[in-house]
Chains A and B, each alone.
Chain A
Amino acid sequence: MAILTREQAMQIIDKVLSYSKADEMEVSIFGGRTGNIRYARNTVNTSGETNEIRLSVNSVFGKKVGSSSTSELDDESLKKVVARAEEIAKLAPENPEYMPMLGPQTYPAAATFSAATDKIDPEFRAKLAGDSIEVSSVGDLTAAGYLEDFSGFVATGNSKGLFGYNTSTSVDFSITVRTTDGTGSGYATRDFNDVNLLNSKDVTSIAMQKAQASANAQAIEPGKYTVILEPTAAGDLLGLLTRGFDARSADEGRSFMSKKGGGTRLGEKLFDERVTITSDPTNTEIPTSPWDGDGLPRQKTTWVENGVVKNLAYSRYWAEKQGVPPLSSPGRGGYIFAGGNESIADMIKSTERGVLVTRFWYIRAVDPQTLLFTGLTRDGTFYIENGQIKFPVKNFRFNESPIIMLNNIESMGKPQRVGGDLIPAMKIRDFTFTSLSDAV
């Protein structure tokens, strides 16, 4: 098994540190198992499992950094990896943005590991795929799905006394069910740390219902519509926004967070007052790693409160340059979007004319100044009239900015986990669909 205990990892890291001749040295060990199973056309077509462990060393002379790594953990290999990192560092150009290593840190406990996920084996994956295929093979449906699971650890330490250790598991499952005549398609996805929370049959059923309900979609004119975005669809767009909460690009004048005339839009009200975005590494639904890429402990942070931008992320380098404390972003996953209490059924009931969206697809940036994105609806798009779903509609291409979208909120649902974030269903007015697609 590739997972070392905290003590085993610490022992190895201390040994490696004792070999160092550099000004500063950092050692990290990553180990884990990744497994997957993929099926399509109602049959399994790929499955695999990889076990790996790797020890990485960063050696620093002045502001020159060299990296090396090895999968062999015997003394000879460890000495070699240190010598190689030091040799590379001596030859490297100076990195003017290099920040001296951090001393000891206190990291919050993270509930990122699940013993059940750790126990996943090829039989479990095959059963999950088999169950899903069995459920969806009923009638004129074809299933294609993918499960990926991970269980592993990371340990890190440096010559200034920092040490961190964490174990983590994850499971990601997605399924597309299509009608065999190719006129309907449905999708559902779930991600968890704990596989016990994953009910693959239920997820499969959702995709099946959407496939059947979306068959023989009708065309309606593109234009501005009130949309009800299921959490997966809302997450597709909100994730694009949080990537931009970076102080450096805002200060440099090349972000939607840049202020006309210089500076950032920190403190400005950019969104509807119901918009509050936070992150909390100890949240039990979306636990995240206790430290960030800079080695700093993750903190509970409010990014947007009642529509006002409260914080931007500062790397250690940029924070020092700007004379402010560093603040790490949660990265991919870890954002909590405050929602409301309205159910999707209630949202539909109160909609005179609108479109229900399951998910978006092939989203690409069009203009980074306004955060305009384009993409398409996919796998279940429905027309709503007078409080009821009337019929499935052909997919639309949209051109929309999440900033504009978050100023057009009608109502929101209870947040649920989507791609590691907590995202509510959202009802948005005046969402811009610019053309129709024949794709199913």
Chain B
Amino acid sequence: MKRRDFIHLSGMGLGALATSGLVMMGNPVSAEQLLIPGMDPAAKKVLADIALNAAKSKGATYTDVRIGRYLRQNVSTREKNVQNISNSETFGVGIRVIANGTWGFSATSDVTPDGIKSCAETAVAIAKANSKLQKEPVVLAPVSGHGEVTWNTPIQKNAMEIPVKDKIDLLLNVNNSAMDNGAAFVNSALFIINEQKYFASTDGSYIDQDIHRIWPTFSVTAVNKGAGGFRSRQALSAPMGMGYEYMDGLEKDKMMNPAGFNSYKNSYDMVEDAVNAAKHATEKISAKSVIPGKYDLVLDPDHLGLTIHESVGHPLELDRVLGYEANYAGTSFATLDKWKSGDFKYGSDKVNIVADKIQPYSLGNTGYDDEGVKCKEWDLIKDGILVNYQAIRDQVQILGENESNGCAFADNWSSVQFQRMPNVSLRPGKEKLSPADMIKNVEKGIYILGRGSYSIDQQRYNFQFGGQLFYEIKDGEITGMLEDVAYQSNTQEFWNSCSQICDEDDYRFFGSFNDGKGQPSQSSAVSHGSSTTRFDGVNVINTGRNI
């Protein structure tokens, strides 16, 4: 039995405690406590300096300190019932040092001068102990100190300030609306995160950041008990780096898609989507089963984001390429020799994929990463050619560079920062093209929306993706819904079959709220922007079975 299973037994199934981890999920608090301001930046600076000095006096050549307060609110419902309301807070400090050329890390929830001093000393002791096994000393890319700076997610409405009752009312309205339109079951939930992060390092940075994320989601299920069938349709929302304004569902953010219902840009109409979902779930039960074969795929951004995430985002993480994830997530087909060749054709010349942590509304949007590097944008794939990876301060010298990409992240004060995926997005096409116009030119194709089943091998060659909604395209027109659809391809073959990308008017985010990596596993949130994109001649299989 692992620790997480053991923890599960400590709460006997009541409330959030039953399933929460300990440090990660924090202490349950009242909703009001989520609004109490955290420690003043001036006080944090005093504590941070204690850590920096304590580590230095023990022999550290570099130190960074992260004082973090992590607030979460989750509200979940099922049909007419509120299942869970959980508010939690966790506060502590993580200290990372280099001593004898080796990393050491220690963390404590004792955020007092004595607690921090002792924690810093432990970090140095661990570094020195580990240095016996170190083969090459850590090399850090230079970063200039930023002085005392602040950065806040540009939100309009702090979601923590919205009364819990309003959130419950919204979710129960979502559930009722779906059930009024034929759903048998609905689970809906709202996840809200506020990270109050303070970073200080011996490079002379004192960075105070206030980061917000939100994710509304649901699953609607229709059942035909007589025929013995059931189908679900998940929300077409995206988790976003926004406040509660994402829930406004503004008309200007609605986009009628070629299947005849609304997709959403930077605000979301959850009730409208739930009504559509109920109708879709019912329709899916009796939809035509796909005939396997080659199809041209027209992929909506709310679907394509996950394909980008798995087939471009992960293989271009430099730590995977180097073998640090070999025992868990795996390595990568995108090896250094392919990058060095300068002509590795990752995709067709239409494919331009960019990494960033600065796009407004995205989950990756932050001022500075967890190593105090100012966030930026950089190319990964340019005109189809592999040009770069995702790398942090102790990695970029491997690529012959001396500036970090700024994508180090730790999921909590108690976790050590490491290289995590920034936003990885497909640039829109330069020529004017709408999804409807794209479909007009497809003879035999499938239009796919939403996140479905996804699986990819440990080096990111072979993948299989499903979706939420599949529409058959015949001679330039959508002729009806399909089911039992999954496409299988190889990353390089797939991206080289990319033939058309819609313009920037169609550009939208897909998001992954809980992307796992590392041992022990850490979770991060990442967005993937794209416009509707066409891929030619992709292998589609039929996933229907009889049991």
Looking at the assembled complex, report how far the CB atom of B285 sits from the nearest CB atom of chain A, in whole angstroms: 10
For the complex, is B257 an interface residue (Cβ under 8 Å from A)? no
Which of A227-235, A289-297, A350-358, A384-392 lies at the interface with chain B? A289-297
Residue of B at shortest CB range from A361? Answer: B458
Q: Is B520 an interface residue when CB atoms closer than 8 A count as contact?
A: yes
B331 cross-chain contacts in A, Cβ below 8 A: 178, 182
B484 within 8 A of partner (CB):
yes
Q: Which residues of A contact B466 (CB under 8 A)?
A: 366
A50/B414 in contact, CB under 8 A = yes
Contact with A along B69-106 (1 / 0, CB 8 A): 00000000000111101100000000000000000010
Residues from chain A with Cβ under 8 Å of B22 in the complex: 30, 52, 54
Known contacts A67-B14, A438-B461: A289-B1 contact under CB 8 Å: yes
Cα distance A374–B9 in the bound complex, in angstroms: 31
**CB-CB contacts of B133-146 with A at 8 A, as 1s and 0s?**
11100000000000
The closest CB in chain B to the CB of A162 belongs to: B12
Report yes or no: B16 in contact with A67, Cβ–Cβ below 8 A.
yes
- Residues facing A in B323-341 (CB within 8 A) are 323-328, 330-331, 333, 335
Nearest-neighbour CB distance to chain B for A244, whole angstroms, equals 12
Q: Which of A150, A365, A376 touches B6 (beta carbons < 8 Å)? A: A150
- Which residues of the partner chain A approach B458 to less than 8 Å between Cβ atoms? 361-362, 376, 378, 439
Q: Which of B220-228, B236-244, B354-362 is the contact stretch? A: B220-228
B23 at the interface (CB under 8 A from A): yes
Chain A's closest residue to B77 (CB) is A93
Give the residues in chain B near A201, CB-CB below 8 Å.
none
Q: Does B61 contact A (CB under 8 A)?
A: no
Q: Is B11 an interface residue (CB 8 A)?
A: yes
A150 touches B168 (CB 8 A): no
A304–B345 Cα distance when bound, in Å, is 52
Instruction: Assess the B541–A288 pair: CB atoms within 8 A.
Output: no
A260 and B457 contacting across the interface, CB-CB below 8 Å? no
Interface residues of B in 1-31 (CB under 8 A from A): 1-3, 5-18, 22-23, 27-30
Docked pose: A397 CA to B10 CA in angstroms: 39
- Pair B226/A261 contact, Cβ less than 8 Å: yes
> By the criterion CB–CB under 8 Å, are A144 and B323 in contact?
yes
User: 1/0 contact trace for B271-289 toward A, CB 8 Å?
Assistant: 0000000000000000000
Verify if B53 is at the interface (C-beta below 8 Å from A). no
**What distance in Å separates the Cβ of B419 from its nearest Cβ neighbour in chain A?**
12
CB contacts (< 8 Å) of A375 on chain B: these are 455
Q: Are A144 and B327 in contact (CB under 8 A)?
A: yes
Rounded to whole angstroms, the CA-CA distance of A34 and B21 in the bound complex is: 12
Contact B327 A146 (CB under 8 A): yes
Report whether A172 and B6 are in contact in the complex, using a CB–CB cutoff of 8 Å.
no
Report which of B2, B15, B455 forms a contact with A364, defined as CB distance below 8 A. B455
Chain B proximity mask over A229-266: 1 for CB below 8 Å, otherwise 0: 00000000000000000000000111010111110000
Asked if B397 lies at the interface with its beta carbon under 8 angstroms from chain A, I say: no
| A361-B458, A376-B455, A404-B545 known; A438 vs B333 contact (CB < 8 Å) | yes
User: B202 contacts the other chain (Cβ, under 8 Å)?
Assistant: no
A159 in the interface (beta carbon within 8 A): no
- Asked whether, in the complex, the Cβ of B330 is within 8 Å of the Cβ of A150, the reply is no
- B459 proximity list for chain A (CB < 8 A): 438-440
Q: Which of these, B13, B135, B462, B547, contacts A294 with CB under 8 Å? A: B13
Complex Cα distance, B230 from A288, in Å, reads: 34
* CB-CB contacts below 8 Å: A75-98 with B: 84, 87-88, 91-93, 95-97
Name the residue of chain A whose CB is nearest to the CB of B452: A366
Q: Give Cα A145–Cα B544 distance, bound, in whole angstroms.
A: 38
Contact A333 B327 (CB under 8 A): no
Residues of A within 8 A of B453 (CB): 364-366, 374
Contact A176 B8 (CB under 8 A): no
> Which residues of chain A come closer than 8 Å to B464, judged between CB atoms?
374, 397, 399, 434-435
| Interface, chain B (partner A; CB < 8 A) | 1-3, 5-18, 22-23, 27-30, 80-83, 85-86, 105, 109, 126, 129-130, 133-135, 168, 184-185, 221, 223-230, 232, 322-328, 330-331, 333, 335, 414, 416, 453-462, 464, 466, 484, 486, 488, 490, 519-520, 539, 541, 543-547
6 contacts between A and B (CB under 8 A): A65-B14, A156-B9, A289-B9, A366-B543, A437-B461, A438-B459
User: Top 8 nearest A-B pairs by Cβ distance?
Assistant: A260-B228, A437-B462, A439-B457, A439-B459, A67-B15, A144-B326, A144-B327, A30-B10
* 16 further contact pairs, Cβ within 8 A, besides A170-B3, A253-B184, A254-B230: A28-B10, A30-B7, A32-B6, A38-B519, A65-B15, A150-B6, A168-B6, A176-B327, A294-B12, A362-B458, A374-B453, A395-B457, A399-B486, A420-B2, A437-B457, A439-B462
